[in-house]
């Protein structure tokens, strides 16, 4: 059940439903808040809701730091990838995981097409498919706390 409260000059939506995490978000107007609440509750009822709050607060740079510290250390070719990470962080690191779009990755690949194995690296890091029609995400980023 969604609760909408006015807090200052914003509308605060809080949705609590059994079997789902609590969802909280603020909006500048009541109509947008109501639309968000209805849409989110509907997705929860139909079983297609995905909580994106962690993805909205985690930057790609944070994720790459975790990748470097947890996964990359066990790989044989870690030195090559460690040299590629700073460029990727500089270009895309400020985006949150929820903000990254295929167009961002495609632009990165276009600009750095001269870089050896840029496409292979993008597939490894992003889980993307690079084809003639552009870039598409093969799977979503998975981030656990």
Do 99 and 33 share a structural domain? no
> CB atoms < 10 A from the CB of 13, how many?
22
Q: Greater confidence, 117 or 71?
A: 71
Average pLDDT, the chain: 78
- Which pair of tokens denotes residue 104? 């961002």
Residues 34 and 60 in one domain: no
pLDDT at position 125, please?
62
**Statement to judge: residues 38 and 60 lie in one domain:** no
Q: Is the pLDDT at 144 greater than 50, yes or no?
A: no
* Out of 3-12, 29-38, 104-113, least confident range: 104-113
Q: Using pLDDT thresholds of 50, 70 and 90, give the confidence band for residue 54.
A: confident
Gap between the terminal Cα atoms of the chain: 26
**Beta strand 128-131 with 134-137: parallel, antiparallel or unpaired?**
antiparallel
In a domain, 145, yes or no: no
The residue segments making up the domain with residue 96 are 55-137
Q: What is the rounded CA–CA span in Å between residue 15 and residue 76? A: 46
Is residue 144 domain-resident?
no
Residues 39 and 65 in one domain: no
């Amino acid at each position: 059940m969604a609760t909408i409260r006015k807090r200052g000059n914003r509308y605060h939506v809080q949705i609590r439903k059994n079997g789902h995490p609590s969802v909280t978000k603020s909006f500048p107007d009541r109509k947008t808040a109501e639309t968000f609440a209805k849409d989110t509750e509907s997705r929860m009822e139909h079983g297609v809701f995905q909580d994106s709050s962690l993805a909205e607060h985690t930057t790609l740079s944070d994720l790459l730091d975790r990748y470097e510290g947890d996964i990359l250390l066990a790989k044989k070719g870690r030195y090559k990838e460690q040299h590629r990470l700073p460029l990727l962080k500089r270009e895309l690191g400020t985006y949150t995981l929820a903000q990254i779009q295929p167009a961002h990755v495609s632009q990165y690949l276009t600009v750095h097409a001269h870089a050896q194995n840029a496409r292979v690296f993008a597939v490894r890091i992003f889980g993307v498919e690079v084809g003639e029609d552009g870039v598409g995400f093969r799977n979503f980023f998975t981030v656990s706390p």
